[in-house]
Amino acid sequence: MTELKKESLRENFNLLKSDYEKITKQHKVTPELSAVIKSLIMLMELMIAIFMEKKVKKTSSNSHKPSSQTEKDQTSTQSGSKGKGKDINDLTSDNCKVRESIKLVTVTTCDHCGEDLSSQPSDKIERRTKIDIFFEKRVEHVDAEVKECPDCHGITKGSFPMDMPGPLQYGKGIRAFVINLLLGQFIALGRVQKTLRVLIGHVISEATILKYVMQLYYALEIWELHAKDEILQSKAMNCDETSLRVDKKKQWIHSYSSGDITLKFLHEKRGCEAIDDIGIIPLYGGTCIHDCWSAYLSYHNCKHGLCGSHLLRELQFIIESNDYHWEKNMKKLLKKIAKIISKRKNKKLTEKEYFDLLKNFRNIITRGKKELPIIVRTPEKKGRVAKSDAHNLLEMLDEHEEAVLAFARYSEVSFTNNRAERDLRMAKVKKKVSGCFRSAEFAKAYCRISSYLQTMENQGYHPMIAIQMVLDGKIPEIKVA
């Protein structure tokens, strides 16, 4: 059976259309028959457009699908990022001790003639250094005297320190190390227990480790409220959401980020009910940057900015499937403006440049409406009108042109929503390591603690240092800028 190729299908259909136009010009077709044929041509164009979209595979380069769920492109030569990453401060953990020793290797005789060089002063010193690490377990015992009064025979016991409420407890160094392994480095709980057993010779129970997590969770409650207030005062905010398995059910992590601050919240729902319960977007007055999800667009108290990366991938898919001219021009225009803005200090266009951009944008939309096979609903017909992905994309660009071009008008609006997607990426790593959370309580604890750790990491603090700061009661002030 001969395989039907989309290239030959479009080519043959265009030949038939040109033949029909020639016959029409020669007045060999009646007006009634011409109307029927034009309707059939419109219907065939729509069917071919949808067929070609079905034939093209969606990958991470032309759709919203992540690379982990698509086949790898063997022909891609794109290299990874070569940036130096975030700046990290020089703070070290409080329970780190450095022991430095210097050993002098003396020269007593000459290697060439055997002359005695014991009294000869050194011309210079050449040094070589070796750094190693040794784990030291510090055990502190506190003995409290117990005495009986000879007069009243009452028993009096010495007072123990406040941080030693029971017969055995672990210090803040171990607690910070455990939480860092579990929530900062995404190591499974069982492996954390095995690691501690090797280092300190004790097995800390699962309940004790989870108790440390919950203690940190409650200690960060005030921090989360302050971070929420700071985000509400920001000019632009990135938003996204992703699924998470909690107690064998699908729940959702909602992410909000601006400046150095990252906040993540767990909710059973994904849509407006969850957004209302979290209470950030309904009170927000800046620009909300997202991936054009309808739930975000339903809030009119804030401005919106659409992710350019998502738009470029969707445009690329339509180019690969139908090869329309308007989508090539739209992709070229968006990439050109994004490149111009990236090289400017104020990160936006002038008023005249934005007016010219808006004019070009609308011209492309107008040409797209003429190029696309669009069937208009008639009053006597009911039901949904058949639309291709290209048709839906064109309508979205036309309806939300201000949100699409917000990155060019406002300096605080980024071209992409990559910030929010990066903030949620570690949640997927945690999901792959642990599979799911057993209860919503610990899933919420993960969201709050990881929000704090990512915020502090944006400021240059290692998770270990950030955790110790909370255990010491020294939670730093946070600012969006």
As averages over each run of 10 residues, the pLDDT of the chain (481 residues) reads 53 71 76 72 67 64 60 47 59 75 88 87 88 84 91 90 90 92 90 91 91 95 94 95 92 95 96 96 96 94 95 90 88 95 93 95 93 65 71 92 95 94 90 85 95 93 92 81 59
Closest CA to 321 of 392, 394, 371, 390: 390
Asked if 153 and 436 touch (Cβ cutoff 8 Å), the reply is: no
pLDDT of residue 455: 94
What is the per-residue pLDDT for 6?
Answer: 52
- Domains of the chain listed by start with CATH number: 9-45 (no CATH), 216-305+418-471 (3.30.420), 308-376+385-409 (no CATH)
10 Å Cβ neighbour count for 167?
5
The residue whose two tokens read 């990135």 is: 238
On whether the CB atoms of residues 229 and 215 are closer than 8 A, the answer is no
Q: What is the pLDDT of residue 447?
A: 95
Distance between CA atoms of residues 415 and 405, nearest Å? 9
- Report, in this order, helix, strand and coil percent for the chain, each rounded to 5: 50, 10, 45
Cα(296)–Cα(403) distance, integer angstroms: 12
373-376: long-range contacts (C-beta < 8 A, 24 or more apart)? 373/42, 373/45, 373/46, 373/49, 375/42, 375/43, 375/46
Task: Please report the pLDDT score of residue 399 as a whole number.
Answer: 94
Rounded Cα gap, residues 199 and 406, in angstroms:
53
The pLDDT score that the predictor gives to residue 377 is 58
Residue 77 confidence (pLDDT)? 42
Per-residue confidence (pLDDT) for residue 72, from 0 to 100: 54
pLDDT tens digits for range 160-200:
998 898 899 899 889 999 999 999 898 999 999 999 999 88
- Confidence (pLDDT) at 273: 96
pLDDT at 52: 63
pLDDT of 80: 46
Q: Which pLDDT score is estimated for 119? A: 87
Question: Which residue, 410, 389, 266, is CA-closest to 320?
Answer: 389
Q: Which residues contact 229 (CB under 8 A, 6 or more apart)?
A: none
